[in-house]
Amino acid sequence: MSLAGIAIRRPVATVMVMVSMVFLGIVSMLSMKSELLPNMNIPMVVITTTWNGAVPEDVNSQITKKIEDSLSGVDGIKKITSTSSFERSVVSIEFDYGVNIDLKRGDVQREIDAISGELPDDASKPTTQKKLAGSGNTAMMLNVSGPNFLELTTFVNEFMTPRFERIGGVGSVDTLGSPDKQIQIQFDTDKLASYNLTPNELYDLIKTSSINVPLGVIKTGGKDVVARFMGEFNYLDEFENMILRSNGKTLRLKDIANVVLTTEDQSEITKLNGKPSVMLVIEKSTDGNILSITDNAKIALEEMKPYFPKGVEVTTVMDYSENINSSISGVKGNAITGLVLATIVLLVFLKNIRATMLISLALPIAIIFTFAFLSLLGVTINVISLMGLSIGVGMLTDNSVVVIDNIYRHITELKKPVMEASEDGASEVAVAILASALTTMVVFIPVLFIPGIAREIFRDMSLSIIFSNVAALIVSLTLMPMVASRFLKANADITKEGKIFGKVKSGYEKIIEWAITNRKKTVALAFLTFMVMMIIGPMLTRTEFIPKQDYGRYSVVLELEKGLSVERAEEITEQAVEVVKNNPLTKTYISLVKTGVGIVNVDIGPKTDRDVSIFQVMDNLRPELEKIPGIKFNLKDDYQSAGGNRDVEFRISSDSLDVAENIAKQVQDKISQNPGIIDITSSIEPGNVEARVVLNRDKLRAHGISPFDIGRTISYSFLGGNRATGQTLSVKTGTEEIDVLIRLPKDSRTKVSTLEELNVRGADGKFVKVSDVADIVMAEGASEVTKTDKIFYASVSANDGGIGLSKVQSEIVDAFEATNPPKGVSYSWGGMSQLFNEAIVQMGMALGISIFLIYAILASQFENFLLPGIILASVPLAMIGVYGGLLITNSPFDMMVMIGIIMLAGTVVNNAIVLIDFIKILRERGYELNDAVRESCKTRLRPILMTTMTTVCGMIPLALGFGEGAELYSGMSIAVIFGLSFSTLLTLVVIPVLYIMVEDFIDRMKKKLKKQKV
């Protein structure tokens, strides 16, 4: 007994299976986390180390190189990239995809711990972190402003930040524009020397005067009394009245220095709509749920409101849960619209509400049950996973359409009773729809098993399509025949043709007749069209990695000269702010100023409220921003908190950094002339201006001064206290712990001349100026030192100005080759361009394997090696439509289009399978070859058009790009719609002709072999 027969004879059991599927799906769906994008397992570990006051060359030699050398004991490393900049070392370790990155992080941490004693004492402990991508870390961004900035920063650091950190799933809470509170002992170098004191001695005196010492327990009779030493200062006046000397005349700290409660020199300035503020960035942990975090953060804000200092206001700058909800709602809405359109198409073709409703049952059951599979594998509800369901809205009814259509054929043509027709009709096409479903599913299997960035991006979508097709197959072979046997009527004829379809069929019969008569012309015309489109299409279509999306936010990143003060950087950033303010679409803007960079994050509202896209707004700003002198800028389509990456990064490697930088300069100059390449920058930009203290060692020895003494005096005076070694005094007041620093007043620390005038005590007790024993030489330092696998490289980065990523890359390579690079100089790609190149290779491999798997399935189904080749001819025919659709809609060729092509490979063959399968059935019934082809084309025209139109109409809402983030799947939908439409039209003509030609060829060969035997 067939599966359909069991379902028909056990209707209650069949219904309960379907109800159970729906129940499991709903329960699973409610328990799944929601994210914007899936979490991607990027096999990369980043090691970060800071070293206060250190220049890039020293950071490279003392920290970066030692870390790189220590990693030789870690297995599976693919590439090591390092950047040594002012005060900071970043080493990125890239592993092969598929490794357990948590274990590798542990291996890296062990190697770093083993060499930690070799690193500078005053450098921070290296931290290791996994690189996260996809769903992203940021959950929420808040802006806090108030009239008293010192009170505001205290409230943020001591009250708000700890409260948010306690929320479940929060990884960290970062503050921007909130300098740490400090007690500064500000001294005058000459006054200090007049009392025969050095900064080091003053620091030691204060350190030994403010101290806590454990005293133990005093046992008195039957009680234990804890002895406590109250030796710490708690108030400013205690510092001021501290006695330094009392030999005849009391010398207090306030006599030689000013004790000031202030903040660290501001290195970040944040403003909301021009008003000074502090920004809080709430980051989620790896397992955190953004929706849950933002909900709890809002509750926490309400709880904290009664404790806000007077005048404090909190503004939600960015709530990423809104992005997630709006994007997911958009995909759901498009899916529902697609379902409605597909149902209308079915009704138009079937002209029977009962049959239409029966087929439409397959959709919700298949989609809901899919969530049970996804939940089992740990997949989240995100745009990518839902996209897999949305693009399958039309396809999921295809099997049910074929089953119901064939059941009606048995009822009307073969005059069978409804019960018998339901079982026979479903059983007859079971193998065909199983093969059809398998071809749709197997194309995504290589995506799941080929390691790389493509798998990380499209894993969830592939699983969604595979499982939804499994569910749809189960429904079509069980529920459809069962409900058909109960609800279809024998007198209904869904195969009856209307006037419009009658004309379409009549025209098609004429076309197929001409094609059969002119076989060579038909095939040649199709082949010529394919070749022309494959030549013209790639030339005229621009490329991207991932589609850029319009969420109504963008940022202007100003790259400033190295060494500019924060105050000067703020002045320049204000010029960009004025440009942004003058745009009528600007709703709110946030400026963030750091050393060397100024960022303006702008909100222009949802795209439904405006007539222009965010990309047009950004392009319109460029001419105005170019008028700001002394800057380079980068425009990004989302908020930034640091300098954003560019579309393309070109790395030139050489044993000599000078050679690499010289070639990079030539490449930069050459591509700057191309208007299609914009926002160009390089790693050879000038570095910080350095005031180098060049020691005169003879004079130092004559005065009995060691290099350590003079270095420590300068460090204490400018950096503050013993901060170079990570040791500072601190005072605890309530919940606060405030650092106490010995340093020069701020106005003295802003002058190079102060460095020369510092006093250093010699061996004879007399003081000399720094300028007496050293020369202050002004020089330009390196901007940063960059290496790949320990080899120096210089990079050139740029954005695509509209010519496409591939064209930008080819132009840069041409510029590189034009420099005639010497032997030993090579290039590679970094950043987004590297991911793009790797993903294209991975997707190409996946497509090749997919086609082989389809061939294997078809060869097994037809027990023939030639027929699958004929059916697979529909795949290149689809490429005509893909490139045609991209050119017509001016859409780029990107990774989403690539996944659309892979999906097409498994979809377009279904029509050919249905056609060839029925031709074989008719030939087995005794039809002559040409007659079998003609009859099969006429009979299968309607179901082929029906299944194609339901798939196409189901994807139209996705292609139109309605809703937030719709740009992500718009191009893919366009590729599938046009590819499937063109392939279907050509398949209905070319595939039958190819079948006839192959069969004729086989017959001729058989006759030839017979003659040879005779």
83 has which bridge partners? Answer: 90, 786
Domain match, 925 and 831 both: no
Give the span between the Cα atoms of 632 and 511, in whole angstroms: 60
Give domain status of residue 658, yes or no: yes
Give domain status of residue 793, yes or no: yes
The answer, yes or no, to whether residue 571 has pLDDT greater than 80, is yes
Domain match, 955 and 878 both: yes
Give the span between the Cα atoms of 915 and 909, in whole angstroms: 10
262 has which bridge partners? Answer: 182
User: If we measure between CA atoms, which residue out of 354, 194, 185 comes closest to residue 739?
Assistant: 185
| Per-state percent for the chain, helix, strand, coil, to nearest 5 | 55, 20, 25
Domain match, 515 and 558 both: no
User: If we measure between CA atoms, which residue out of 165, 129, 269, 257 comes closest to residue 203?
Assistant: 257
Residue 41: partners with Cβ closer than 8 Å, 6 or more residues away: 97, 101, 456
Domain match, 679 and 587 both: yes
For position 47, what pLDDT does the model report?
Answer: 92
Burial 53-90 (b: 16+ CB within 10 A, else e): ebbbebbbebbbbbbbebbeebeebeebbbbbbbbbbb
Domain boundary among 836, 853, 872: 836
Give domain status of residue 13, yes or no: no
Domain match, 528 and 649 both: no
At residue 734 the predicted structure's pLDDT band, cuts being 50, 70 and 90, is low
The answer, yes or no, to whether residue 813 has pLDDT greater than 90, is yes
- Give the total residue count for the chain: 1014
Tokens standing for residue 41? 């397992």
Tokens standing for residue 710? 């003079």
Domain boundary among 816, 836, 856: 836
Give domain status of residue 1010, yes or no: yes
Give the span between the Cα atoms of 708 and 198, in whole angstroms: 14
At residue 117 the predicted structure's pLDDT band, cuts being 50, 70 and 90, is confident
- The residue assigned the tokens 């989620």 is 284
Give domain status of residue 367, yes or no: no
Range of the domain at 949: 497-540+864-1014
The answer, yes or no, to whether residue 228 has pLDDT greater than 80, is yes
Domain match, 968 and 1001 both: yes
Backbone angles phi, psi at 728, to 5 degrees: -140, 155
Which of helix, strand or coil describes residue 218?
strand
Give domain status of residue 870, yes or no: yes
For position 27, what pLDDT does the model report?
Answer: 93
DSSP string, 707-767: HHHHHHHHHIIIIITTGGGT--EEEEETTEEEEEEEE--TTTTT-HHHHHH-EEE-TTS-E
For position 300, what pLDDT does the model report?
Answer: 92
Show the DSSP H helices in 758-894 as ranges.
770-773, 805-818, 831-862, 867-872, 874-889
Domain match, 601 and 647 both: yes
**241-250 long-range CB contacts below 8 Å, 24 or more apart?**
242/205, 242/206, 242/209, 244/195, 244/197, 244/202, 244/205, 245/195
Backbone angles phi, psi at 790, to 5 degrees: 70, 5
Backbone angles phi, psi at 93, to 5 degrees: -110, 115
For position 690, what pLDDT does the model report?
Answer: 81
Each residue's pLDDT tens digit, 253-293: 888 889 888 888 778 888 888 888 888 888 887 777 888 88
C-alpha gyration radius of the chain: 36
Q: Are 920 and 933 in contact (CB under 8 A)?
A: no
For position 930, what pLDDT does the model report?
Answer: 86
Say which amino acid occupies 472: A
Domain boundary among 821, 836, 851: 836
Each residue's pLDDT tens digit, 192-202: 888 888 888 88
Show the DSSP H helices in 415-518 as ranges.
418-428, 430-442, 445-449, 453-487, 499-517
Average pLDDT on 755-783 reads 86
Give the span between the Cα atoms of 1005 and 414, in whole angstroms: 38
Note the pTM of the prediction, 2 decimals: 0.80
For position 63, what pLDDT does the model report?
Answer: 93
Average pLDDT on 761-775 reads 89
Average pLDDT on 168-179 reads 84
Show the DSSP H helices in 873-928 as ranges.
874-889, 895-924
The answer, yes or no, to whether residue 372 has pLDDT greater than 80, is yes
Tokens standing for residue 720? 């503050």
Domain match, 796 and 669 both: yes
Give domain status of residue 666, yes or no: yes
Q: Could you tell me the CA-to-CA distances from 490 to 76, 411, 556, 670 in Å, in that order?
A: 67, 6, 68, 76
Q: Could you tell me the CA-to-CA distances from 423 to 356, 362, 406, 471 in Å, in that order?
A: 19, 18, 10, 20
For position 663, what pLDDT does the model report?
Answer: 92
For position 886, what pLDDT does the model report?
Answer: 92
User: If we measure between CA atoms, which residue out of 428, 427, 420 comes closest to residue 490?
Assistant: 420
Domain match, 930 and 1010 both: yes
Average pLDDT on 666-675 reads 91
For position 385, what pLDDT does the model report?
Answer: 85
User: If we measure between CA atoms, which residue out of 178, 180, 176, 179 comes closest to residue 281?
Assistant: 176
Average pLDDT on 371-391 reads 85
At residue 726 the predicted structure's pLDDT band, cuts being 50, 70 and 90, is low
Give the span between the Cα atoms of 884 and 526, in whole angstroms: 14
Tokens standing for residue 117? 């004693």
Which of helix, strand or coil describes residue 208?
helix
641 has which bridge partners? Answer: none
For position 860, what pLDDT does the model report?
Answer: 86
The answer, yes or no, to whether residue 725 has pLDDT greater than 70, is no
Give the span between the Cα atoms of 519 and 264, in whole angstroms: 83
For position 722, what pLDDT does the model report?
Answer: 63
At residue 497 the predicted structure's pLDDT band, cuts being 50, 70 and 90, is low
Which 8-state DSSP code applies to residue 51? B
Number of compact structural domains in the chain: 2
DSSP string, 403-440: HHHHHHHHHHTS---HHHHHHHHHHHTHHHHHHHHHHH
Q: What is the CATH number of the domain that holds 501?
A: 1.20.1640.10
Give the span between the Cα atoms of 343 and 102, in whole angstroms: 48
The answer, yes or no, to whether residue 812 has pLDDT greater than 90, is yes
Q: Are 177 and 269 in contact (CB under 8 A)?
A: yes
Domain match, 505 and 569 both: no
Average pLDDT on 994-1013 reads 80
Which of helix, strand or coil describes residue 993?
helix
Q: Are 92 and 82 in contact (CB under 8 A)?
A: yes
Domain match, 502 and 580 both: no
Domain match, 521 and 561 both: no
Residue 642: partners with Cβ closer than 8 Å, 6 or more residues away: 594, 597, 599
Average pLDDT on 63-88 reads 89
Mean of the per-residue pLDDT values for the chain? 85
Q: What is the CATH number of the domain that holds 625?
A: 3.30.70.1440
Each residue's pLDDT tens digit, 843-871: 889 889 988 988 888 888 778 888 888 88
At residue 498 the predicted structure's pLDDT band, cuts being 50, 70 and 90, is low
Give domain status of residue 210, yes or no: no
